[in-house]
Copies of this chain bind each other. A is one copy, B any other.
Amino acid sequence: MKLEKLVGERFKERPADCIIHSHALMLRGGYMKQVTSGIFSSLTVLRRITRKIENIIRDEMDRIGGQEVLFPVVMPARLWQESGRYNSIGNELVRFDDRNGNSMVLGMTHEEAAVHLVREYGRSYTRYPFMIYQIQTKFRDEARPRGGLIRVREFTMKDAYSFHTSQKDLEDFYQKCLEAYYRIFARVGLPEVIAVASDSGMMGGSVSHEFMLLTPVGEDSIVICRNCDYKANLEAAESIVINENAGDEAPLVKVHTPGMKTIEEVCGFLGIPVENSCKAVVYWKEKTGEYVVVFIRGDLDVNETKVSKFLGESIRPAVIGENSGLVAGFIGPYGLKNVQMLFDRSLMGIGNLCCGANVPDYHYTGLNIERDLGKVEYHDFAKASENGICPRCQKNALTISRGIEVGNIFQLGDKYTKSMNMQYVDANGNLRYPVMGCYGIGIERLAAAVCEAHHDGYGPIWPISIAPWQVHLCCMRPDDQKVKETADYFYEQLQSANIETIYDDRDVSAGVMLSDADLLGVPIRIIVSPRNLKENLCEIQTRDKSISRKVETGQMLSAVQELITELHGRLYSVDA
């Protein structure tokens, strides 16, 4: 294709509202255009990239026995009522009535549709296991779309659903799919992506993993152990707290702590370590507005995902009202009435705690939970922390990194098959519920993540496997007849050899030509210029600047073909 025909505008200035590089560079390169918050149109360059990503994913899904299908974007609410998610999911799920007054939803994920499609097919155990997948548009009405293509409302997703007659069979397939995902990420140029344990969220089920590209601009926090191979999303990371200095028992004493509302103020005033305080964190249950107070050791933070999962409903940080019965800044478990209290296991076994007295300007010292409150249940509500103890190897070796989630996989168990009454007859004639797995990859986000991992100040550096074109041919002086003829001839040669080429023969300055080429990020560049041509040479470079070769014009094609092979060789080999 000729660059002058390429639909899309390129520009120099970094748009003001772009926080991350992929957003800025892909806007500047004419990859996409925002239609409204979190909704983009993809232009030619991006669509060429996403089609290649889609085909790599298809290839790997087919390789593990997947069959491509297509579910609808618009579904009857009835299906989602069957699974129970019509009510359990919030505003992210778009609901509307059709012209006949039937309640409909926009597909944000397709577990219900998958069960609907195979409910009859899966009646006999002989048909298991099987996996179906689609590549289709999803809509999720995100509260805060951000980061360009990283967090949007509408996107293309590959979503796959597997069905099994045993947990063991699901686990085996889950492992196969996990490996297929590693191959996909490596093939698109992200061999560094890691799988981390994650929280299943609205999907349900027990075991799940997210695939993370570690990058400081990621929106997820990932806990990684420096000592063993423990890796988990912060939301899901277990925290282990050992109270080495549990402290001696002391009597419960009410002390005057005027105006001291923070843990630091109180502990400083009383001269006790923060680890010996019991902090109160107050939440609202989203549906009812009821208060929940989580007590946790003063030096730790609450992991809201864990609290929400424990309660089975959404929560958010509360503002403490005047008639709440709660005394902001002075809340403690002793004597607190009429409100649900949760205790983090970090408080377990401490003999001597400081906590609020539920009266303005007073705290207690010497609280011993078991002694003063009787039997309480402890659960894990704490956030894992930098240098915290690894729940696997028990060493103080946790680190917290940022990452972009580029895929996720879930073991769903029988959540959907049971609620939607999908059953099979086993070999003994008994009716059973199959178990399911589901497996997602967001296509446009993956493209942006590759850009985030592979770019310089001038533009993306696309891996050859997903680059919009393989070769960017620059005719540096189209007004010079010999240069133009040579470049035209190269273009013909490359096309005849089925090498995808974008050809720039515009009458523009070298600066414009090269900065446009940088923004398109095509891995191989051929420069035809008067100076080199005098010596019958042309220049072949890679976008990442690792290679720059002058070759005789007669050798151009073979040199390019070699370089293509070389660049493919740098990527993960499918047969490895």
Contacts and interface: CB of A to CB of B under 8 A. Distances in A.
Nearest to A93: B99
Given A42-B70, A43-B117, A51-B68, A79 B35 contact: yes
A94 interface: yes
Contacts of A118: 7
Interface string A115-146: 01110110000000010101011010101000
A138 to B, nearest CB: 9
Interface string A18-57: 0000000000001001011001111110111011000000
A39 B75 contact: yes
A106 B75 CA distance: 13
Nearest to A131: B7
A132 B7 CA distance: 8
A82 to B, nearest CB: 12
B156 A33 contact: no
Given A74-B154, A116-B33, A141-B98, A7 B67 contact: yes
Copies per complex of this chain: 2
A134 B48 CA distance: 12
Contacts of A50: 70
A113 B41 CA distance: 8
Contacts of A132: 7, 44
Interface in A48-99: 48, 50-51, 65, 67-76, 78-79, 91-92, 94-96, 98-99
Contact residue range for chain A? 35 or more
A41 B68 contact: no
Nearest to A99: B91
A153 interface: yes
A102 interface: yes
Determine the main DSSP class of A at the interface with B.
Answer: mixed
Nearest to A6: B67
Interface string A278-292: 000000000000000
A343 to B, nearest CB: 35
Contact of A48 (B68, B113, B120, B130): B68
A202 to B, nearest CB: 16
A139 B73 contact: yes
A9 B68 contact: no
Given A47-B69, A47-B134, 6 more contacts: A7-B132, A36-B76, A41-B113, A44-B68, A48-B68, A51-B68
22 contacts: A6-B67, A9-B120, A33-B116, A35-B113, A35-B116, A36-B75, A36-B78, A36-B102, A39-B76, A41-B117, A42-B69, A44-B132, A47-B68, A50-B70, A51-B68, A70-B156, A74-B106, A74-B153, A94-B96, A94-B98, A99-B141, A136-B137
